[in-house]
Amino acid sequence: MNSVYLIILSCCISTSVWAQAAKENLRPASMGKLGMVATANPLASLAGQKILSKGGNAIDAIVAAAASLNAVEPYMSGTAGVGYLLFYSADERRVRSLIFGGWVPESFDGSKMKGESKFADGAGHGNVMETVGPKTCAVPGNLAGWNRALEDYGTMSLGEVFGECNRLPGKWYSHHRNGSGNVGRHGRPGY
Provide the residue-wise pLDDT of the chain in tens; the chain has 191 residues: 554 444 444 444 444 444 454 555 566 667 777 688 888 888 889 899 999 999 999 999 999 999 988 888 877 788 888 888 999 999 999 999 998 887 777 787 767 766 655 555 555 555 555 566 666 677 788 899 999 999 999 999 999 999 887 777 655 455 555 555 555 555 555 44
3-state DSSP assignment of residue 5:
helix
Dihedral, 174, 176, 180, 183 alpha carbons, nearest 10: -90
* Residues 110 and 97 grouped into a single domain: no
Does residue 118 belong to any structural domain of this protein? yes
* Residues 59 and 149 grouped into a single domain: yes
Does residue 12 belong to any structural domain of this protein? no
Does residue 156 belong to any structural domain of this protein? yes
* Residues 53 and 133 grouped into a single domain: no
Does residue 186 belong to any structural domain of this protein? no
* Residues 121 and 157 grouped into a single domain: no
Task: Give residue 98's domain range.
Answer: 34-102+139-176
CA 24 – CA 20 distance, rounded (Å): 6
* Residues 95 and 151 grouped into a single domain: yes
Does residue 87 belong to any structural domain of this protein? yes
Does residue 17 belong to any structural domain of this protein? no
**What are the DSSP E strand ranges found in 74-175?**
83-89, 94-100, 117-120, 128-131
* Residues 43 and 78 grouped into a single domain: yes
CA 107 – CA 83 distance, rounded (Å): 23
pTM of the model: 0.67
Does residue 2 belong to any structural domain of this protein? no
* Residues 121 and 163 grouped into a single domain: no
Q: Which among 152, 178, 175, 150 is positioned nearest to 164, based on CA atoms?
A: 150
Contact 150, 161 (CB under 8 A): yes
Does residue 124 belong to any structural domain of this protein? yes
* Residues 165 and 97 grouped into a single domain: yes
First vs last C-alpha separation in the chain? 57
* Residues 46 and 117 grouped into a single domain: no
Domains contained in the chain, number: 2
Q: Which among 126, 121, 94 is positioned nearest to 191, based on CA atoms?
A: 121
